Amino acid sequence: MKQPIQLLFALLAATGMVTGCDKESSENTTVHAPAVSTTPNPVTPTTNVAPPGGANKEGTGAVIRTTFTPPPESEIPKNEFGETVLLGKNLFVNTQQYAKGYVGNGLNCANCHLDNGRKADSAPLWAAYGLYPAYRKKTGQVDTIGSRIQGCFKYSMNGKAPALDSKEMTALVTYHYWLAKGAPTGVKLPGQGFVTVPKPAQQPDIARGSEVYKNNCALCHGANGEGTQANGQYVFPPLWGKDSFNWGAGMHRVDTAAGFIKANMPYGRGGMLNDQQAWDVALFMNSHERPKDPRAKGSMAQTRDEFHDENCLYGRTPEELIALMDSKEKAKADSKAKPDSSVVPTPGKTSGLTQGLSPATSH
């Protein structure tokens, strides 16, 4: 059974080279990246949103993965611009050292954006760069790539954001820009963000997730999610507790975490866990305590209602989360069943994703 599926993917990929590629993206990417390669998705296909302009044809039922290839590190120019790219890379990879005053936990950017921000399905920077400026429900404003990165510092790094005109921010934005050389703007590239893991057959379960964790994750991340250090530095990041991301980070959402884990964990073995295991272990991971949501005000219920209308365990039990997921799914199915013309999206109530371009899925 496995082989015919692989064959099917290979066939889809091959036909995709002729018919499925987004014209705009292939034209642009050949400027710098001749290595745009169409590959079958090794794990669960990303749910791609059609880019503006209708270049991406729907209705084929197949998800074709055209992966953009960022320039190799050896091509960083040996000049002032290149020095800033390199500083941005260093900030990104060794955030603990290079952005010391801005980080409030034990993480580096590259812990979740693997391969120094290059890896597809690991929120690669080359895919994020061209999606800004964009309106984000989370901030209620149009964010530039800079203010978007500020959000990473506030939540995922549980720290204090560098100013938009700071040396650090300039370097980080420059690194993003350089990695995206030749990528189209305003288009969601395949590999952007994290994969969407279909809801599994059984409701996600913390106890099962705990077993998955023990057998597959504790080796690197420790029995209690505390991460593992060498020479006083985390080599494997802490997944919960005081040195991990806070309750406002995108990774605290169970669906987001499942997508990251499924495609990327353990290193080199992406796709090892099945969908059920990915959901179970994501639920387990995110059922633990972590630094508080910096937006928190009043009661937990108040903060939850204002900021956590999402797939997470902030201020809710696993049972309440599952009920929430079911009701969202039902609402989605209902709205799909109705003809388009009768559905008027309510501003602020519609998920950013359905509006076409909001990339706000990772933090």
- Residues interacting with another protein, by CB under 8 A? 42, 69, 73, 114-116, 118-119, 216, 219-220, 228-233, 235-236, 266-270, 272
Of residues 147 and 229, the one with the C-beta less far from another protein = 229
Give the tokens for residue 245: 């991301």
Of residues 85 and 114, the one with the C-beta less far from another protein = 114
Angstrom distances, CA of residue 194 to CA of 48, 58, 65, 251: 11, 20, 13, 10
The least CB distance from residue 332 to another protein, in Å, is: 33
8 Å CB contact between 44 and 198: yes
Buried b (16+ CB within 10 A) or exposed e, 331-357: eeeeeeeeeeeeeeeeeeeeebbeeeb
Strand partners, 229: 234
The least CB distance from residue 108 to another protein, in Å, is: 11
DSSP secondary structure code for residue 111 in this structure: G
Tally of CA atoms within 13 A in the half-sphere of 6 that contains its CB: 4
- Report CA torsion sign: 136, 282, 109, 32: negative
Strand partners, 230: 233
The least CB distance from residue 37 to another protein, in Å, is: 9
DSSP secondary structure code for residue 234 in this structure: E
CA torsion, points 177, 180, 182, 184, in degrees to nearest 10?
-100
Dihedral-angle region of residue 186 (phi above 0 means left; psi in -120 to 50 means alpha; beta otherwise): left
The least CB distance from residue 192 to another protein, in Å, is: 16
Of residues 51 and 237, the one with the C-beta less far from another protein = 237
Of residues 69 and 274, the one with the C-beta less far from another protein = 69
**Amino acid identity, position 158:** N
Of residues 70 and 204, the one with the C-beta less far from another protein = 70
The least CB distance from residue 169 to another protein, in Å, is: 24
The least CB distance from residue 46 to another protein, in Å, is: 17
The least CB distance from residue 231 to another protein, in Å, is: 5
**Amino acid identity, position 309:** D
Of residues 269 and 332, the one with the C-beta less far from another protein = 269
Of residues 96 and 335, the one with the C-beta less far from another protein = 96
Of residues 38 and 358, the one with the C-beta less far from another protein = 38
Strand partners, 67: 37
Of residues 251 and 265, the one with the C-beta less far from another protein = 265
DSSP string, 63-109: ---EE--PPPGGGS-SSHHHHHHHHHHHHHH-HHHHTGGG--SS--G
- Report CA torsion sign: 239, 240, 242, 246: positive
Cα 357 to Cα 50: distance, rounded to the nearest angstrom: 9
